[in-house]
Amino acid sequence: MSSFDDREYDQSDTAQGSIISFLSRTGLILLQAVCLLLLSAFPFQIWNLAEVRPAFFLAAAFYWAVFRPRAFPPLAAFLCGLTLDLLYAGPIGLHALTLVVAQGLVRSQRRFLIGQSFVVLWMCFFLVAGGAFFLQWGVHSLFLLETIPPRPLVISAVLTGFVFPPLSWAFYGFSRLFYGPRG
Amino acid sequence: MPLRRTSKTDIHAVPLKMIGARATPFVLALLALAMVAFHRIGVMPAEQLRIAVTDVVAPVLETTSQPFVTLTESFEGVRTLRALKAENIRLKEENARLAQWYEAALKFQSENQSLRGLLNVKADPALAYVTARVVSDPGGAFVKSLLLPAGMNDDVTKGSAVLSGRGLVGRITEAGKSSSRVLLVTDLNSRIPVVIQNTRTRAILAGRNKELMRLERLPVDSGLVVGSRVVTSGDGGLLPADIPVGTIVSVEQDSVLVRPLSDLSSLSYVQVVNMDADESLISGHINTP
């Protein structure tokens, strides 16, 4: 069993350091969760984008699972997913499941992903987004015992892939803000 | 790169911690799956939980989305400025045509009133409207729903019909204190009792999560034609009767498809209709004195 996943080079040797680190971690999670939640619930009716809304939280789960696993732990992903589930009108637990599964998968491949160029990472994110939407489609169809038309889902998955670069840039900014210039 | 400390306590502590860290995603994934299952079999108070969340989120969204709405509206204003002349001509023509219809409608209205008076027809219950701005359209590809910043405090109740300027768009499925959720007519779970306007054929209009809806429970040989209007039948007493919903766009052997009158993908304001329905109309048990 490798200790790679949980190794972090924090300055949290002292008690004070660990409190600050804990607070900044929690602050980071809360701040980005609120931002992403607003994006996820924003009335895109105006731009006819409602049907194919990208999965913003998936990008967050992917980015942090690769670059700083402890900044977005599984419990945070679960709670964010659950909030989305309560806000949306689908089965409760659906987004929580997708986020936790996607994050777990990415974490297990972190050793491979962390050394890759951004383009390779981006392609991997496309794969993860496709898988996540397929999982959501399957679980939701089972929930309704009826096949949901898959077309908007495919478009959503592709759109999710395309929002990854700007979002990862934003996460990088978050990361610098909370952890200093080392990002 | 600092190396891991290899003191005795650490050697014993690390594996347990590691097992915990590794197991968490599995446990959470199982928990989420269990939640989906519990929601399916109906042992979770899903509606109450949702209402609690939307009551908090709807006012926040109402405030935060305001600048964006203003922005899009001004963009829209600039865009339509160019088409103004053509639009003006079209509207003038339409106005002339509508003026004739208005005269006809006035004549029919007075005739209708006097005939109703003669026959002593029981009037339909009076309808009250609440207008609200759409603050969110959560659900994306799976669920067709809207979030409104109006709830029971504004007399919005569960089951009320929701209209746009052109016709029915959905029904209130959850009503909190200050927010409510609308299930659109195109949603997979939406079933609306309707009647075809010219033939008076009764049917159920079912959403399919697609642009078009399907008519179900049609009588055999109902002789439907493309272009017929579909209106609510008012059966069950939950929705007011004769609200336009859509027009038939295709009639085939095994499926009749209906297009909603309003463009459901770009709704910004909707009206919630409150009908003081008689309980006995819904339950079917009429109490005789």
B63-104 pLDDT, tens digit per residue, is 887 777 787 778 777 777 778 888 889 999 999 999 999 999
- pLDDT single digits (tens) A69-92: 888 889 999 999 998 898 888 899
**For residue A47, what is the nearest residue in chain B, using CA coordinates?**
B266
Q: A84, exposed or middle or buried, with CB in 10 Å at 0-12, 13-18, 19+?
A: buried
Query: Which of the residue ranges A119-133, A144-158, A159-173, B273-287 would you say has the lowest mean pLDDT?
Result: B273-287
C-alpha span between B138 and B128 (Å, rounded) = 27
pLDDT band for position B3 (cuts 50, 70, 90): low
C-alpha span between B69 and B267 (Å, rounded) = 12
**For residue B76, what is the nearest residue in chain A, using CA coordinates?**
A46
Is the minimum CB–CB distance between A101 and chain B shorter than 8 Å? yes
Q: Tell me what the pLDDT averaged over chain B comes to.
A: 83
C-alpha span between A38 and A33 (Å, rounded) = 9
CB contact under 8 A, B36 and A152: no
Q: Residue B132 pairs with which residues in a beta bridge?
A: B270
The three-class DSSP label of residue B236 is helix
| A96 contacts in chain B (CB < 8 Å) | 28, 31-32, 35
CB contact under 8 A, A92 and B39: yes
- In this chain, the answer to whether the domains covering B48-184 and B191-263 adopt an identical fold is yes
SS3 content of chain B, % helix, strand, coil (to 5): 40, 25, 35
C-alpha span between A150 and B29 (Å, rounded) = 23
Residue from the list A48, A77, A86 with its beta carbon closest to the beta carbon of B266: A48
CA distance B247 to chain A (A): 22
DSSP states of A116-147: S-HHHHHHHHHHHHHHHHHHHHHHHHHHHTSP
| B136 contacts in chain A (CB < 8 Å) | 41-43, 87
Q: Residue B231 pairs with which residues in a beta bridge?
A: B195, B244
- pLDDT single digits (tens) A31-50: 888 888 888 777 665 555 55
pLDDT band for position B278 (cuts 50, 70, 90): low
Residue B48 structure tokens: 């109450």
Residue from the list A44, A86, A100 with its beta carbon closest to the beta carbon of B53: A86
| A1 contacts in chain B (CB < 8 Å) | 15, 18, 22
DSSP character for A64?
A: H
Query: Which of the residue ranges A34-38, A100-104, B195-199 would you say has the lowest mean pLDDT?
Result: A34-38
Tokens 């690390």 correspond to: B14
DSSP states of B182-250: EEETTSTT-EEEEEETTT--EEEEE--SSSSEEEESPPTT----TT-EEEE--GGGSS-TT-EEEEEEE
- pLDDT for A13: 54
- pLDDT for B119: 86
- pLDDT for A1: 38
CA distance B90 to chain A (A): 25
- pLDDT for A2: 39
- pLDDT single digits (tens) A106-152: 999 999 998 889 999 999 999 999 999 999 999 999 998 888 888 88
C-alpha span between B47 and A105 (Å, rounded) = 32
Asked if A48 contacts B265 with a C-beta cutoff of 8 angstroms, the reply is yes
Contacts of B1 (CB under 8 A, 6+ apart): A9
Closest CA to B228 of B262, B192, B199: B199
Contacts of A159 (CB under 8 A, 6+ apart): A52, A53, A54
Q: Residue B145 pairs with which residues in a beta bridge?
A: B183
- pLDDT for B11: 53
In this structure, which amino acid lies at residue A159?
L
pLDDT at residue B32 greater than cutoff 90: yes
At the fourth CATH level, the homologous superfamily of domain B191-263 is Rod shape-determining protein MreC, domain 2 (2.40.10.350)
**For residue B34, what is the nearest residue in chain A, using CA coordinates?**
A93
Residue from the list B15, B21, B137 with its beta carbon closest to the beta carbon of A45: B137
Is the minimum CB–CB distance between A126 and chain B shorter than 8 Å? no
Asked if B273 contacts B164 with a C-beta cutoff of 8 angstroms, the reply is no
CB contact under 8 A, A88 and B143: yes
Summarize the confidence of residues B253-278 as an average pLDDT.
83
- pLDDT for B10: 52
Annotated domain spans of chain B: 48-184, 191-263
CA–CA–CA angle A180, B3, B7 (5° rounding):
120
pLDDT band for position A8 (cuts 50, 70, 90): very low
pLDDT band for position B282 (cuts 50, 70, 90): low
The three-class DSSP label of residue B272 is strand
Write down how long chain A is.
183
pLDDT band for position B125 (cuts 50, 70, 90): low
Residue from the list B4, B50, B140 with its beta carbon closest to the beta carbon of A51: B140
Query: Which of the residue ranges A6-15, B117-126, B239-248 would you say has the lowest mean pLDDT?
Result: A6-15
Q: What is the ipTM of this complex?
A: 0.82
Max avg pLDDT among A31-40, A155-164, B54-63: A155-164
Query: Which of the residue ranges A10-19, A34-43, A73-82, B159-168 would you say has the lowest mean pLDDT?
Result: A10-19
| A89 contacts in chain B (CB < 8 Å) | 50, 138-139, 143, 145, 173, 181, 183
C-alpha span between B72 and B92 (Å, rounded) = 27
Helix H or strand E segment including B194:
strand B191-196
**For residue B186, what is the nearest residue in chain A, using CA coordinates?**
A51
Total number of domains in chain A: 1
CATH number for the region B48-184 comes to 2.40.10.340
Give the burial string for B227-238 (b: 16+ CB within 10 Å, else e). ebbbbbbbeebb
In this structure, which amino acid lies at residue B62?
E
CA distance A123 to chain B (A): 23
pLDDT at residue A5 greater than cutoff 50: no
For A95, the domain range is 15-179
